[in-house]
Structure 1
């Protein structure tokens, strides 16, 4: 989520959102891209980590996980809820991910689950450049795109798959997976596109 604009509505609804996110299992949400996870324990960046569900699951699989969440109420609840998982939590935001870059980290996997829709066109261009530069050679990006109605008090954009693919290519990434799925929470009119990206 980008900065203050992207956190609007998330801090206020943190308790409800955490309960909602935690009703779904990591393995169900990401079933079609589990094959894109690093084969051996690797370095993973979860951007817009929300309740910490995915970050904790990845850490329990043996990966070294950095979780980025700019909504302070979500981040603190996630940290407490998954205190048993060895996750490094960072207050940072797209498009720049300045704190992550300052740390000099590079990652085998960058997870952008339900986050890209919070960025406008200019932010998406800057974010793709930022994310691409955080990958190790052979690293991968898993990115979901939300299509459907926007909830009240949220800043969201319906981002075309073709635009995202073109932006990835400009930044040296090509598509290694493309899929679609319905909304696992059963919200009407909502569907998701899933992209796996990797450097050329």
Structure 2
């Protein structure tokens, strides 16, 4: 997105991963920021697009409504929120949840977002038989 001229803020809670991303993509125009849901302190909108890739499934049930309200508050009028969801039995060694896209849509509705689309990706791109992905697109306004 940055290569196409868009201003991009990327939020990553793990310092080592942020540092690695900056080293792998020098001069990309991406601004890397420390932060994590549900609050993402210090991040200011408005954004036309917010993308959460493989993030939502790490939030505990009680964190999800607050996180959705925070994300909705970052959107510009008409802004789009895209969330990818890893589906399938979560690994036992990580805090991860199998969250239905309908639950995400419900939290979105509670935060003033309308559902645009739910996409079932069917297969996992890494070839894991027990994993598949959904994407949820929500819009403010």
Shorter-chain TM-score: which interval? over 0.9
**1:86 and 2:49 matched:** no
Match of 1:194 in 2: 135
**1:141 and 2:81 matched:** yes
2:140 and 2:45 map into 1 onto residues whose CA distance is 17
Match of 1:72 in 2: 15
Which segments of 5 or more consecutive residues in structure 1 lack a partner in the other structure? 1-57
1:99 and 1:187 map into 2 onto residues whose CA distance is 37
**1:153 and 2:93 matched:** yes
What TM-score comes out, normalization by structure 2 length? 0.94
**1:121 and 2:61 matched:** yes
Q: CA RMSD in A?
A: 1.1
2:107 and 2:77 map into 1 onto residues whose CA distance is 19
1:162 and 1:82 map into 2 onto residues whose CA distance is 35
Runs of 4 or more above 3 Å deviation: none
Which segments of 5 or more consecutive residues in structure 2 lack a partner in the other structure? none
Equivalent of 2:113, from 173, 176, 179? 173
**1:62 and 2:2 matched:** no
Quick check: which one's helix share is greater?
A: 1
Aligned positions, number: 140
Query: Contact 2:101–2:118 at 8 Å: present in 1 too?
Result: no
